[in-house]
Amino acid sequence: MPPLGKPRVSAVVVNYNTRDDLVRCLDHLARQDEPVEVIVFDNGSRDGSAEAARRVRRGGALSPPAATAEDLSCGSPLRLFISPANQGYAAASNQAVRKARGRFILLLNPDAFLPTDGARRLADLLEEDPALGGVAPKLVGGDGELQRTCRRLPKTWDLFCELTGLSRVFPKSGFFNRWKMGDFDHKQTRRVEQVYASCWMLRREDFARLGGFDTRYPIFFNDVDLARRLVREGCLTLYYPQVRVVHCGGASVKKVRARSVLWSHRAFWRYLRVNGPRFNPLLWMLALPLAVAAPLRALWPET
């Protein structure tokens, strides 16, 4: 087990107004059976998240007080950064990763809770196979229901299937529900192109070499874009369901749901336009339906 002074894993937690989830997340990180450097980047929260993080104990030591978005506790298991405004997930994550010292970066949402051996087992997998671009566990909701987190990189066809409802009519189809891998039951270990960044472990050197998250995608699709760049280099992510992580899901975006829907649709469009064929008439045909669908989804009650 590596000494705490030079951790193998750095967990990066970007938080926005999810104080209670953050405290629970930090408690689970404190209980890991391998020392993990924890970097919390509070992204302009107004709910007392930063104050709560200061009070969190890890290893019996109280985290030192925080005042600015500077490195507050280089020798502490918990390192806290505070931004006065919400910079978006991509920019905040990039800043936090640059401060990390671990060889592996665990991108972790504050509403995701690792089992005691989670960080160690994921790091072991990544260490044993240099060909892997990343590794990710199975995510389940608070009720234990499976979250289908594996994806193929999206194409314009997938947008068409989403907007026409074909992906919902044929949910288990690898053709009509190709993007969300309807033909995969999430029970087996396998290599996939993309996973949720809610809990995703990468090599720090790969993250840095690829330039981190593209800040043109402040909240959504930054993980998709980073996965695309890894795939382009021949590096897939190992989905490993033997590690089970509880993920409440969308704790931050639910607080601003209407805006989140609009941002996600805009990011989807940008991703396909930037990474698809230069001449793509189908994508332009879908522009209006995509724009209309955004406010309808924002107004529709959550189920």
Would you list the DSSP string of 217-238? SSSSSHHHHHHHHHHHTT-PEE
Which tens digit of pLDDT belongs to each residue from 202-213? 999 999 999 999
pLDDT at residue 259 in the model: 74
CATH class of the 9-149+186-250 domain in this structure: alpha beta
Statement: residue 68 has pLDDT above 50: no
- In three-state secondary structure terms, 49 is helix
Q: Please check whether residue 257 is in contact with residue 124, taking contact to mean a CB–CB distance below 8 angstroms.
A: no
- How far apart CA 106 and CA 10 sit, in angstroms, is 6
> Residue 67: which pLDDT band, with cuts at 50, 70 and 90?
very low
pLDDT at residue 132 in the model: 97
**Mean pLDDT of the chain, nearest integer:** 87
Which tens digit of pLDDT belongs to each residue from 83-95? 999 999 999 999 9
Six-digit token string for 75: 């020798």
pLDDT at residue 254 in the model: 54
Q: Pick the residue with more confidence: 230 or 219?
A: 230
> Residue 188: which pLDDT band, with cuts at 50, 70 and 90?
very high
> Residue 284: which pLDDT band, with cuts at 50, 70 and 90?
confident
- How far apart CA 225 and CA 194 sit, in angstroms, is 9
